[in-house]
């Protein structure tokens, strides 16, 4: 089959790789019909290369049609249309029954000290082949796949794999009071969708910060008050002006470790790039430092007693945090990978009607064949050509 394969920093290629096969009774094989490129994929493209192996198949936002199921899979049959959550979970362990599927005790990558295995996402998370490919082997298929109805185009449902549950959890964790205010940092796919969920769930004031004109425009037309980061030396002060001097009740950081503006973090990464790969991985696992501009802005802009919800991925092990400020402001901090299956029942009613309240049908800016993945990654990383969300279609 054809698949998007990692070869190094900023080097992905579409190549022929072996077709997936059933390995366990709980496996399924799907024929992929759509697969998103995620902001988290850019971490592999840029930052997390030391944890990748040349030949790894990328992608964790797929949907498609079931081709084959293992003997223990009784909830699926060939021909079912399914969305595949990015995290691989069993559904019956203690963590899954607590709604913490990202911590699944059946698929935890214990030799790396990490939570549940993820599709297409480094040796830290199991090195499971991803879904930017023509076919995908799905472990724990007795629980993970989400069956969706035939009829609507893939765009209606594909974001259940990651974007929708990640944005929903970000808003849930933000605990915005009814009629309250929330600031969303980063208006890429997750941040954009988080503003939509915040509005849907009753936030009175939704503010978004970004520096990419296309992203700001997308949010603005849906009623979000937008702030261009490049236009203000002190964006937190602007947020306070918009909220009676207090700051927002909650802040959602949808940027994570890719944030600009932290020379120390950038220098640490550039230094790490000069080291041999094993040494770089060890350095990142012990003294790695993220670029923390977005997180520090969140702490500055949230009101006293407010909540900061982290949806953007962080990977540093020695990040300097302003603990005195956080303690003095009496902040609450919640974070983590999205527990996809936990939120599906909440989100699905918004997808199966005719009105499309979240705008998922028009959410993607680009639909591209699989063979154009290398250029798609480059455009997404550079925020070029109006690229906000890409769906690859094998």
For residues 250 and 125, give the distance between their C-alpha atoms in angstroms, rounded to a whole number.
Answer: 30
- Average pLDDT rounded to a whole number, residues 320-330: 95
pLDDT digits (tens, 9 = 90+) for 154-203: 999 999 999 999 999 999 999 999 999 999 999 999 999 999 999 999 99
Mean per-residue pLDDT over the chain, rounded:
92
Among residues 41, 165, 56, the alpha carbon closest in space to that of 101 is found at: 165
- pLDDT of 264 > 50? The answer is no
* 3-state SS class at 147: strand
For residues 385 and 298, give the distance between their C-alpha atoms in angstroms, rounded to a whole number.
Answer: 29
pLDDT digits (tens, 9 = 90+) for 212-247: 999 999 999 999 999 999 999 999 999 999 999 999
Whether 253 and 209 have beta carbons less than 8 Å apart is answered as: no
Q: What is the pLDDT of residue 272?
A: 44
Share of the chain above pLDDT 90, in %: 82
pLDDT digits (tens, 9 = 90+) for 75-87: 999 999 999 999 9
H or E, element range at 264: helix 263-273
Pick the CATH number of 2-162+339-393 from 3.30.1490.20, 1.20.1290.10, 3.90.180.10, 2.40.70.10: 3.90.180.10
CB environment 23-38: b (16+ within 10 A), e (fewer): eeebbbbbebbbbbbb
For residues 338 and 95, give the distance between their C-alpha atoms in angstroms, rounded to a whole number.
Answer: 13
Token duo for residue 10: 């900023």
Share of the chain above pLDDT 70, in %: 91
Token duo for residue 350: 């918004």
For residues 92 and 101, give the distance between their C-alpha atoms in angstroms, rounded to a whole number.
Answer: 10
Token duo for residue 322: 């302003």
For residues 85 and 166, give the distance between their C-alpha atoms in angstroms, rounded to a whole number.
Answer: 11
The whole-angstrom distance between residue 24's C-alpha and the CA centroid of its chain comes to 28
- Average pLDDT rounded to a whole number, residues 93-97: 98
Among residues 87, 106, 86, the alpha carbon closest in space to that of 95 is found at: 106
For residues 115 and 97, give the distance between their C-alpha atoms in angstroms, rounded to a whole number.
Answer: 15
Whether 7 and 56 have beta carbons less than 8 Å apart is answered as: no
- pLDDT of 55 > 50? The answer is yes
- pLDDT of 249 > 70? The answer is yes
For residues 141 and 122, give the distance between their C-alpha atoms in angstroms, rounded to a whole number.
Answer: 21
Architecture label for domain 165-335: 3-Layer(aba) Sandwich (3.40)
- pLDDT of 359 > 80? The answer is yes
Strand pairing of 366-369 and 390-393?
parallel
Least confident segment among 112-116, 134-138, 382-386, 390-394: 382-386
Size (the chain), residues: 394
- pLDDT of 51 > 90? The answer is no
Domain edges within the chain: 2-162+339-393, 165-335
Instruction: pLDDT band for 48, please (50, 70, 90 cuts).
Output: confident
Q: What is the pLDDT of residue 274?
A: 43
Whether 182 and 249 have beta carbons less than 8 Å apart is answered as: yes
pLDDT digits (tens, 9 = 90+) for 193-208: 999 999 999 999 999 9
Q: Has this prediction a pTM greater than 0.85?
A: yes
pLDDT digits (tens, 9 = 90+) for 267-288: 444 444 544 556 445 545 544 5
Strand pairing of 28-37 and 62-69?
antiparallel
Contacts of residue 307, defined as CB under 8 A and 6 or more positions apart, other chains included, come to 173, 174, 175, 249, 250, 251, 331, 332, 333, 334
Instruction: pLDDT band for 112, please (50, 70, 90 cuts).
Output: very high
Q: Comparing 2-162+339-393 with 165-335, is the CATH topology the same? A: no
How far is CA 63 from each of CA 132, 137, 156, 207, 379, rounded to the nearest angstrom?
10, 12, 11, 32, 23
For residues 380 and 192, give the distance between their C-alpha atoms in angstroms, rounded to a whole number.
Answer: 15
**Beta-bridge mates of residue 302:** 248
How far is CA 20 from each of CA 233, 334, 366, 373, rounded to the nearest angstrom?
51, 37, 27, 20
Instruction: pLDDT band for 292, please (50, 70, 90 cuts).
Output: confident
For residues 342 and 356, give the distance between their C-alpha atoms in angstroms, rounded to a whole number.
Answer: 21
Token duo for residue 362: 């028009």
């Amino acid at each position: 089959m054809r698949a998007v394969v990692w070869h190094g920093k900023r080097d992905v290629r579409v190549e022929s790789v072996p077709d997936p096969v059933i390995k366990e009774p709980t496996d399924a094989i799907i024929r992929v019909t759509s697969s998103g490129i995620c902001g988290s994929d850019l971490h592999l493209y840029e930052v997390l290369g030391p944890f990748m192996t040349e030949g790894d198949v990328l992608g964790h936002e797929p949907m498609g049609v079931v081709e084959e199921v293992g003997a223990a899979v009784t909830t699926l049959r060939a021909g079912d249309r399914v969305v595949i959550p990015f995290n691989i979970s069993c559904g019956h362990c203690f963590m899954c029954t607590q709604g913490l599927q990202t911590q699944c005790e059946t698929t935890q990558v214990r030799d790396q000290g990490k939570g549940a295995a993820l599709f297409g996402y480094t040796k830290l998370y199991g090195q499971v082949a991803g879904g930017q490919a023509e076919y995908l082997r799905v472990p724990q298929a007795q629980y993970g796949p989400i069956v969706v109805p035939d009829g609507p185009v893939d765009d209606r449902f594909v974001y259940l794999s990651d974007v929708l549950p990640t944005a929903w959890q970000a808003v849930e964790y933000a605990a915005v009071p009814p009629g309250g205010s929330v600031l969303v940092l980063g208006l890429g796919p997750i941040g954009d969708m988080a503003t939509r969920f915040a509005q849907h769930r009753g936030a009175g004031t939704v503010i978004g910060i970004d520096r990419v004109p296309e992203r700001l425009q997308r949010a603005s037309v849906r009623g979000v008050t937008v702030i261009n980061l490049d236009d203000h030396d002190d964006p937190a002060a602007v947020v306070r002006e918009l909220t009676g001097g207090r700051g927002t009740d909650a802040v959602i950081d949808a940027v994570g470790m890719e944030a600009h503006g932290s020379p120390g973090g950038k220098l640490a990464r550039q230094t790490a790039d000069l080291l041999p790969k094993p040494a770089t991985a060890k350095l990142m696992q012990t003294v790695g430092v993220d670029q923390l501009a977005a997180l520090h802005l969140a702490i500055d802009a949230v009101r006293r007693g407010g909540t900061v919800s982290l949806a953007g991925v962080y990977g540093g092990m020695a990040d300097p945090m302003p603990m005195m400020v956080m303690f003095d402001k009496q902040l609450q901090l919640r974070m983590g990978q999205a527990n996809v299956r936990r939120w599906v029942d909440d989100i699905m009613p918004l997808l199966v009607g005719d009105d499309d309240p979240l705008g998922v049908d028009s959410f993607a800016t680009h639909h591209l064949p699989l063979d154009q993945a290398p250029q798609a990654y480059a455009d997404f990383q550079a925020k070029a050509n109006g690229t906000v969300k890409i769906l690859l279609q094998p």
